[in-house]
A and B are shown apart, each in its own frame.
Chain A
Amino acid sequence: MIDTSESQLIYNYLKGDEKSLEILINSYFKPIYRFIYHYVNNSPEAEDLTQEVFVRAWQNLSKFDQSKKFSTWLFTIAKNLALDFLKKKKALVFSEFEDELGNNSLIETLTDPLSLPDNLFDQANLAELLTAALAKLPTQDRVVVLLHYQDQLNFREISEYLNEPLNSIKSRWRRALIKLNQLLKIS
């Protein structure tokens, strides 16, 4: 159910109060930007897509179902725009370890994805290594990990933003950490 204050803001805007829309935009433009940045990893593109998210939201605000959560709706628009952008750029990374049935052979072989290599934090260029490793992750898995560790969102919140089941989010998280672990060990 939509937050009452957001519901009121949308109602006020549809009645002609422009300030209400500004308040809504102000509440969400930074989280939306960060969310899209995790997909595209490029500031100018993330800015452009963020603007487009709010244009799409504004165009469809009168059709928004107020029984649903506004943030979920907004983040769904953002996710779809980001994925469409990456598809056009042919920059979507898919998991190489998944078969047609969605089974992941990498998860079968590694037992403990949560421990990092011992000497990892001694590396001088760790930030670069991490950025390079993250770029090799499947896009959707990378986004889950970044939302969890960089944006401090819990799995339930990530599940709402991405509009995916909680178990799928946890699977993506686990899969991403396994792959990340492997990439960081190699480097």
Chain B
Amino acid sequence: MSKNYLDLFSILPPVEPAADLFDKINQRLQQHQRLIARKYRLLLLSVTLGTSLIALIPTFRLVMTGFTESGFSQFLSLIFSDAGVLAAYWENLAFSLLESLPIASILTLLTVVFIFFISLKLLIKNLQIIFIPLNKLTRF
């Protein structure tokens, strides 16, 4: 090596990174890891949302069938038929209505509806984060 050029370049200030560059690199990696986790969550929520939406139809039909088969509709129609009978036998009617409720299918429908709305809420929340371009996220 020519000593002249070594002496020449020795006058340049040393190139050193900022003290916190290592931390910034780790933070950036964590940011990307969180973004990937969010994308997977988004995919899962989309599947859950789609599945619950599709499941709404058969579960709703199940509830309707349940109401018909259990006789609930018939008992309910008594309320609007004879006020005197209703006043005399309201307790029995109330118990009959309760007994004939298709509880299982109603619970199933409520569960599906609950999953649908929770998935929708979380999906919207995660979509807002996903669609912010990465270079507009926190720059370290």
Of B24-32, B59-67, B113-121, which stretch is located at the interface?
B24-32
Question: Which of B3-11, B47-55, B78-86 participates in binding chain A?
Answer: B3-11
Residues from chain B with a CB closer than 8 A to the CB of A127 are 11-13
Within 8 Å by CB of B24, from A34, A47, A120, A131, lies: A47
**A91 CB within 8 Å of chain B:** no
Are B5 and A47 closer than 8 Å at their CB atoms? no
Whose C-beta in chain A lies nearest to the C-beta of B20?
A: A47
> Which stretch of A50-58, A75-83, A163-171 is in the interface?
A50-58
- Cβ-defined contact, A25 with B25, below 8 A: yes
Once the chains are docked, how many angstroms separate the CA of A112 from the CA of B16? 33
With A26-B22, A131-B12 known to touch, is A47 a contact of B28 (CB < 8 Å)? no
Q: A30-B16, A48-B139 are in contact. Are A114 and B4 (CB under 8 A)?
A: yes
The residue in chain A whose Cβ has the minimal distance to the Cβ of B134 is: A55
Which residue of B is nearest A58, CB measured? B29
Asked if B6 and A33 make an inter-chain contact with CB atoms under 8 angstroms apart, the answer reads no
Interface string of A1-35 (1 = CB under 8 A from B): 00000000000000000000110011001100110
Chain A interface residue count, CB cutoff 8 Å, equals: 36
Tell me the bound Cα distance from A38 to B13 in angstroms: 12
What is the CB-to-nearest-CB distance from B32 to chain A, in angstroms, rounded to a whole number? 6
Residues in chain B near residue A58, CB distance under 8 A: 29, 32
Known contacts A29-B22, A116-B4; decide if A54 and B12 are in contact (CB<8 Å): no
Q: Is the CB of B15 within 8 A of A25?
A: no
Whether A38 lies near B4 (C-beta < 8 A) is no
How far, in Å, is B60 (CB) from chain A's closest CB? 45
Q: A106 on the interface (CB 8 Å rule)?
A: no
- Cα A64 to Cα B74 in complex, Å, equals 71
- Given known contacts A43-B18, A55-B32, A150 and B5 CB-to-CB distance under 8 angstroms: no
Q: Does B17 contact A (CB under 8 A)?
A: yes
Do A177 and B28 have beta carbons less than 8 Å apart? Answer: no
Contacting pair A116 B8 (CB below 8 A): yes
- Give chain B's interface residues, CB within 8 Å of chain A: 1-2, 4-9, 11-18, 21-22, 24-26, 28-29, 32, 139-140
Known A21-B29, A114-B5; 11 more pairs at CB < 8 Å: A22-B26, A34-B15, A47-B17, A47-B21, A50-B21, A52-B28, A54-B28, A116-B5, A130-B8, A130-B12, A150-B12
Name A residues whose Cβ lies closer than 8 Å to a Cβ of B.
21-22, 25-26, 29-30, 33-34, 37-38, 43, 46-48, 50-52, 54-55, 58-59, 114-116, 120-121, 126-127, 130-131, 145-146, 148-150, 177
Query: Can you pick out 6 interface pairs between chain A and chain B where the beta carbons lie within 8 Å of each other?
Result: A33-B21, A55-B28, A55-B32, A130-B9, A150-B9, A150-B12
3 A-B pairs with least C-beta separation: A149-B9, A33-B17, A51-B28
